[in-house]
Structure 1
């Protein structure tokens, strides 16, 4: 039989995870500015003082949420890319699938929407998100695209904007899921599997080695 001391120790060990889960729920539901640490503590079933034992500020709590639910995946994804043996098309397909399963289909997909709407008011968080999520995530996608180019599976491209072309549909899906999809009924609903399959088809058609390279038009010079 587990004694009271052991139960308290287990409860203490679980608190950081419980606090991060509660914080994710509230940040996604209310946004960063409107979420109060007292609410996070209450939802997690602890006092505000207990929360501050683990996370000294709301900013540090938010950073921990991002690391736990988003950037914490990057190391394993990097390892998968390093040892992937299939085609670069299959690698890109796995990339979209893994993003959806680990982030898009979870409550963590509300974090990109939060950053898009609030980063300007909290530039220090915007800089953190850029360094912790955008840059390493972009680097992983760039590795996939460069692999495809090197192997002759993708045509040469400007990698910076190739990365954006992969990221943009994922960001759109996350924002749509936490905005219009949640309030406009079935007619506004996007089926993620079909959407990502369509996006992958468009990406591979555009990246395909069988299409002649052509520099994209510079819109700023168009007449």
Structure 2
């Protein structure tokens, strides 16, 4: 007696048809943390930390709030993951590049600032700095985390660049703790400009980021080269 349609054994084609959706679902599940981080980054930059709700992040990522909490138990932990993914995680590669750089320290300094703009300043993560500066007083835990994961490693890296120049006789002696801020200040200005005044200014008044960075490097280097008398003892 022939088998009825309901009792027929699955064919290879049927098996493939059944497996493909399951594979797609599995890939989708694995992709969710990255999608959530992308959605969170967009919303944190658009609305700030205080005004962003986890429900909005989940909705933008296309998942439920419960799914978000499977990966990130709180909005604070979600924010920390965003910072690690987009900024703090870069320091490993930057430190490796510093270790391998063979040019002079002026070239290295220019490379560092260009690289920072290309990898952070031109990305959505550039808005995180403005968020932290605006809301640090309301969320001291977030400020402390950003200090530990971004500011301190960034200062350490720049201090190594400057010390390299001093050790090689390319830069004059200087108080490094203040010199580091001289490098960071124009970059913070550039970020704040990008996320505040730039959208409101006519094209004729826009700042070219690379031109601005090159000018800042030139000004800084002319104050650090060894042919300039130093007021600080070796």
Q: How many angstroms does 1:207 deviate by?
A: 1.1
Deviations 1:35-65 (A, max 9, x none): 0000000000000000000000000000000
Deviations 1:147-173 (A, max 9, x none): 000001011000001100111111110
In the alignment, is the contact (CA less than 8 A) between 1:180 and 1:188 conserved in 2?
no
Cα separation, 2, equivalents of 1:13 and 1:131: 29
Structure 2 stretches lacking a partner, 5+ long: 1-15
1:153 pairs with 2:209:
no
Q: How many angstroms does 1:185 deviate by?
A: 2.5
5 Å matches for 1:5-44?
Answer: 5-44=22-61
Q: How many angstroms does 1:186 deviate by?
A: 2.1
Cα separation, 2, equivalents of 1:131 and 1:148: 26
TM-score, normalised with respect to structure 2: 0.90
TM-score, normalised with respect to structure 1: 0.94
| Matching residue of 2:190 | 173
| Matching residue of 1:218 | none
Question: Paired residue for 1:126, among 143, 147, 150?
Answer: 143
Runs of 4+ in 1 over 6 A off after TM superposition: none
1:191 pairs with 2:212:
no
SS at the partner of 2:35?
helix
| Matching residue of 1:70 | 87
Q: How many angstroms does 1:187 deviate by?
A: 4.1
Q: Aligned-residue CA RMSD in angstroms?
A: 1.0
SS at the partner of 2:223?
helix
Cα separation, 2, equivalents of 1:133 and 1:173: 17
| Matching residue of 1:84 | 101
Deviations 1:104-158 (A, max 9, x none): 0111000000011000110010000000000001000000000000001011000
Which sits farther off after the overlay, 1-10 or 197-206?
Answer: 1-10
5 Å matches for 1:197-208?
Answer: 197-208=214-225
Deviations 1:6-49 (A, max 9, x none): 00111111111100000000000000000000000000000000
Rg (Cα) greater in structure = 2
Which sits farther off after the overlay, 165-174 or 2-11?
Answer: 2-11
| Matching residue of 1:219 | none
In the alignment, is the contact (CA less than 8 A) between 1:119 and 1:126 conserved in 2?
yes
Question: Paired residue for 1:98, among 104, 107, 115?
Answer: 115
Structure 1 stretches lacking a partner, 5+ long: 216-223
| Matching residue of 2:180 | 163
1:109 pairs with 2:126:
yes
SS at the partner of 1:155?
coil
